[in-house]
Amino acid sequence: MTAAIRAGHAWSVRRRRPEAWLEVARMTGVIMRACGPGRGPATPAELVAALRRPLREWLSGCDEAVADLVVLDADGELTEETYDIGCDYTVELLTGLEDPGARWLPGWSVHRAEQIEKAAFQALLSGGDEHYTRGRRFIVEHPAGDQAELTLARNRLGLPPLVAYEEIPVERRWRGRWWPCPVCRWPMRVRASQVRCDFPRHDAVFALTGAGALHPLGGVRRAPRAQTVDGAVCVDESVWRYFVVPGVVEVRLHDRIARLPGVHTSLYPQKDVCDVAVWRDGAGRCEFTLDVKDYASARALARKLEDRPIAAEWLVLPRYRRGQVAELRRLLPDVPVTTEDGIYQRIRRAADRAGGAQ
Q: Mean pLDDT per 10-residue run, the chain (358 residues)?
A: 87 89 91 85 94 93 84 91 75 51 59 59 79 94 98 94 92 97 97 93 94 87 94 93 94 97 94 93 79 92 93 97 97 97 96 69
**pLDDT for the residue 174:** 97
Edge-to-edge strand list for the sheet holding 194-196? 189-191, 194-196, 205-208, 214-216
Bridge partner list, 291? 315
Could you tell me which residues come within 8 angstroms of residue 58 by beta carbon, excluding any fewer than 6 positions away? 40, 41, 50
Task: Name the residue among 88, 71, 125 with its Cα closest to residue 273.
Answer: 125
Please tell me the distance from the alpha carbon of residue 84 to that of residue 219, in angstroms, as a whole number.
18
Please tell me the distance from the alpha carbon of residue 18 to that of residue 5, in angstroms, as a whole number.
18
**pLDDT for the residue 80:** 84
What is the pairing mode between strands 177-178 and 227-228?
antiparallel
**pLDDT for the residue 34:** 84
Angle at 72 between CA 67 and CA 75, to 5 degrees: 150
In the chain, alpha helices (H): 2-12, 20-35, 44-50, 80-85, 113-120, 122-125, 129-141, 147-156, 237-239, 245-258, 269-272, 298-307, 325-331, 340-357
pTM: 0.84
What is the pairing mode between strands 194-196 and 189-191?
antiparallel
Please tell me the distance from the alpha carbon of residue 190 to that of residue 304, in angstroms, as a whole number.
34
Contacts 24+ apart (CB under 8 A), 353-358: 354/262, 354/280, 354/281, 355/261, 355/262
Alpha carbon 311 to its chain's center: 21
What is the enclosing helix (H) or strand (E) of 205?
Answer: strand 205-208
**pLDDT for the residue 206:** 96
**pLDDT for the residue 90:** 63
Alpha carbon 38 to its chain's center: 36
